[in-house]
Amino acid sequence: MEFIETALKGAFLIRQKKIEDHRGYFARAWCRQESIKHGLNPNMLQLNTAFSFRRGTVRGMHYQEKPHEEAKLVRCTRGAIYDVIIDLRPDSPTCGQWHGEELTGSNGTMLYAPEGFAHGYQTLLDDTEMCYLTSALYSPEVARGVRYDAAAFDIRWPLPVTAISEQDRKWPDNWR
């Protein structure tokens, strides 16, 4: 596995190192020991998956408050997404900044966001599926979000939004 730190402190791109032969390939998608070595939270507790019918669908920007903050490791398994994370940690030098990355079913690249980040994505193709590991169980009482189009972050989504939940439209423009 190859770990590449993004401009947001503690957030990483993780690329699989594929061992290929005539059958296809084998690669590790998660390794506790490698995660510890790179300072990532190794305690993943839940695996979530989502499927979107239409290109342009936006889901996000979600996070959980203490004591149930969650690190996330995101991978697209079918189709393509533009995956976005926002650093919401008040003591971070990159607080309020965002990072976006194209993840596809074929490139196998993953994005790791530590605790204190909001996460969301936009589907780039119809019939797209993604999955993500979290370091905390889902706790609806502390589930929060910020608007996907909040001026405070100025996220540049690659496509017009074709579908979004009513809840995601209602999140506040700011988290403070």
Q: Point out the catalytic residue in the list 62, 68, 99, 119.
A: 62
Answer yes or no: 38 catalytic.
Answer: no
Enclosing H/E stretch for 33 = helix 32-37
Choosing from 82, 112, 121, 132, the catalytic residue is 132
Contacts of 15 (CB under 8 A, 6+ apart): 1, 2, 4, 108, 109, 110
User: Following DSSP, what letter does each residue of 65-104 receive, concatenated?
Assistant: -TTS---EEEEEEESEEEEEEEE--TT-TTTT-EEEEEEE
Q: Give yes or no: 82 in active site.
A: no
Q: Which residues are known to be catalytic?
A: 62, 132
